[in-house]
Amino acid sequence: MNVGIVGATGYGGAELIRLINHHPYATVSAVYSTTQDGAALSESYPHMLDMNSLVLQAFDAKHAGATCDVVFLATPPGVSSKLSPSLLAENVKVIDLSGDLRLKNPDDYEVWYKKKPADESLLSEAVYGLTEWTGEAVKKARLIANPGCYPTAVLLGLLPLLKAGLIEPDSLLIDAKSGTSGAGRSASAIAHFPEMNDNFKIYKVNQHQHTPEIEQMLSTVTDKLTPITFSTHLVPMTRGIMATMYGKLTVGTQAEDLRAAYEQSYHSAPFVRLRPEGQFPSTKEVYGSNFCDIGFTLDQRTNRVTIVSVIDNLVKGAAGQAIHNLNVLAGFEETAGLQMVPVYP
């Protein structure tokens, strides 16, 4: 299977190339970049020297149609809503890593992204690719909206418990922490090394654009959801997200109910690993891999559950999940190209 990548010089694009390099059935046949047309990919990323001979070119839908079965869009906000239709018209399937096609309600997009939303027909066709939960729809999709990094960690941790009615939907509180690669490759003041090093920051308080994405998906398993509190912090590390999540237990909920709910949801999910109760993953324990590791514990004093979910934001939170979706869509085994052991330490 031949795949193309638009936005190959960003971190999401580079990670796709790394992962597909290990994939048994997929090959990168085209890499597109508006800014570096004609340059070898290894000029942008010397770590790929001698590993491929990919040359960046300006995006062209016809070219993609001729050379690719599937195209990944690893582009900034506002781009994929424009490129997707042209690719679909060429009979190319699209897996979009941006946030453009995730929100069904265009007003939400406008409010949280401060940009013009995609056409409703596009939004309505796009399948939200949280593979463990929407895999059946992914199989038949032409257009996949790959989930955001935070929502991936959060939703995998919360959906089983909410679906089973074990926590109160109006009590949810999510305190999330991310490495800095989530902010992308462009140099910025917030990720300037001298100021991010040995530092810990909170940002976009109550304003993160992943908030409605989380709420939209949580609402598919409960009709009692109220607006969630979702905070995001920057950790002086490169990769990794930890979402620490809290909820009031519904009456009568026991630890074994929580475990049972997770096991029911994920018994055949190859990338979700549940820790024994009272043990918690650290972000490095999934570094470079497609795992989402989940730990939880009940607090008798407060009747709250604490859930900890960790992912590598560039893999399970972006490129790895996109390839997982590719595998499902193409009928490959789910784990094709994604069985890497985390790089630890």
Q: Which of residues 270-299 bind its own copies (CB under 8 A)?
A: 273, 275, 278-289, 293, 297, 299
Least spacing, CB of residue 278 vs its own copies, in Å = 8
Could you tell me the smallest distance in angstroms from the CB atom of residue 154 to its own copies?
A: 14
Count of chain residues binding its own copies (CB under 8 A): 84
Residues 34-93 that bind its own copies (CB under 8 A): 45-51
The verdict on 173 binding its own copies (CB under 8 A) reads: yes
Among 229, 254, 264, 335, binds its own copies (CB under 8 A): 229
Distance CA(4)–CA(6), nearest Å, equals 7
315 versus 326: smaller Cβ distance to its own copies: 315
Helix (H, G, I), strand (E, B) or coil at 246: strand
Q: What are the angstrom distances between the C-alpha of 179 and each of 46, 309, 338?
A: 22, 14, 21
Residue 316 is given by DSSP the state I
Q: What's the CA gap between 125 and 310, in Å, rounded? A: 30
Type of residue numbered 255: A
Determine, following the binding rule CB under 8 A, whether residue 251 of this chain makes contact with its own copies: no
Between 159 and 228, name the residue whose CB sits nearer to its own copies. Answer: 228
| The only residue of 1, 40, 137, 237 in contact with its own copies, by rule CB under 8 A | 237
| Contact between 181 and its own copies per CB under 8 A | yes
Measured from the CB atom, is 80 or 283 closer to its own copies?
283
* One residue of 9, 180, 290, 327 binding its own copies per CB under 8 A: 180
Which residues between 187 and 226 bind its own copies (CB under 8 A)?
Answer: 187-189, 191-203, 205-206, 226
Please say if 149 is a catalytic residue.
yes
Nearer to its own copies, 124 or 264 (CB): 264
Quickly list H helices, 32-148.
Answer: 41-44, 61-67, 80-89, 106-113, 120-125, 131-139
Assign residue 184 a region (left: φ > 0; alpha: ψ between -120 and 50; beta: otherwise): left
Residue found by looking up tokens 């935070």 in the block: 150
Q: Which member of 123, 126, 149, 308 is catalytic?
A: 149
Shortest distance in whole angstroms from residue 273 CB to its own copies? 5
176, β-bridge pairs? 232, 243
Cα 142 from Cα 73, distance rounded (Å): 13
The CA distance from 70 to 254, in Å, is 45
Residues 86-125 that bind its own copies (CB under 8 A): none
Contact status: 323 vs its own copies (CB under 8 A): no
The dihedral over CA atoms of 208, 317, 69, 53, expressed in degrees to the nearest 10, equals: 110
- Supply the residues annotated as catalytic: 149
